[in-house]
Amino acid sequence: MPFYQPNPQLTTLAEQALADTWAQFPDLKPDRIALTWIVYDRPIPVNTGGAITADELWKYPVRGFNHRGGERIYPASTAKLFYLLAIHEWLEQGMATPSAELDRAIRDMIIDSSNDATSLVVDTLTGTTSGPELSSGPFTTWQAQRNLINRYYQSLGWAELESININQKTWSDGPYGRERAFVGEMRENRNMLTTDAIARLMHSIVGGAAVSGDRSSQMMQLLHRDLNLAVVTPDSGEENQLDGFLGAGLPPESQIWSKAGWTSQVRHDVAYIELVDRQPYLLIVFTEVTDRSQNRQILPFISDRIVTAMSQV
């Protein structure tokens, strides 16, 4: 069972939003989208600036809905959320050394979705580096080190994380050398996440329970997006992580904290959203669509439908 409580009202509203989406985008089949939607009722336990403890957060019941929320899907750059939380845990425990260069990489990994910055963060987390292929013994050791991130998330004991894999770097042109061998001949070892797993991770960050209240706040600062950028720079493509994503379907006075992920075949977004005079919510949407002209329209459309649904919650 997920950490949230399934709710009949949210189910009705979400299923209508999905039906509208499939009617608008008939090429988006039901098995090519996954969605998790969490609504925070009052008293709102999240984005409190550390006003409640982690133990208190997990006692608050939250309502939710998912469509294929437990389905393993290639996450693209939404995986960087997991590296973000992990590097803060390593820094908090003294397992990584703070530096201006590491700070720069963490920032660029989230704000700009830089794959080069992510490479440094993953190297720091695991003590591994990319490079030529390795012989059997050293490669076995290298793989064990790279799986430190998986072992950390399994140690949390969250049911939503049991099926995930989060041991690969993110790439622009693709892996080479030992990285190509590690991902597997058929890429069977590539990163895989579920929208429910990301929902729980984001819930912990937004709720101030990720590592510590202070570190959760630092993560939130990096995740905050200025909706004005989608208006001022509408031709910036994916780089602002708003235009063509969930933020583009929001009223302009809304607030959003998000991390997008995209390739030629997938388009995803993870967002905590605050609307004016309505409850805040988490919305995680993964889509697998190969038509680039269409897939930039799908996430804003879904976001708009959920905004409409929130007026009835």
Examine the pLDDT at 284 and tell me if it is beyond 70.
Answer: yes
When pLDDT is cut at 50, 70 and 90, the band that residue 235 belongs to is: low
pLDDT of 14 reads 98
pLDDT at 292: 60
Sheet architecture: strand order including 224-225: 5-6, 63-67, 33-39, 281-288, 266-274, 255-262, 224-225
Give me the mean pLDDT over the 123-146 stretch: 98
Could you tell me whether strands 255-262 and 224-225 are parallel, antiparallel, or unpaired per DSSP bridges? antiparallel
Q: What is the mean pLDDT of residues 78-103?
A: 98
Average pLDDT over every residue of 236-248: 84
Q: Which of 281, 235, 244, 236 is nearest to 262 (CA)?
A: 244
194, two tokens: 């579920």
At residue 48 the predicted structure's pLDDT band, cuts being 50, 70 and 90, is confident
pTM for this entry? 0.96
Q: Which helix (H) or strand (E) holds 165?
A: none
Question: Percent of the chain at pLDDT above 90?
Answer: 85
Cα separation of the two ends of the chain: 23
The answer on pLDDT for 62 being more than 80 is yes
Across 16-41, average pLDDT = 96
Residues 67, 73, 79, 85, Cα dihedral to 10°: 50
Q: Please give the C-alpha separations between residue 148 and each of 30, 167, 169, 205, in angstroms, as whole numbers.
A: 34, 8, 13, 21
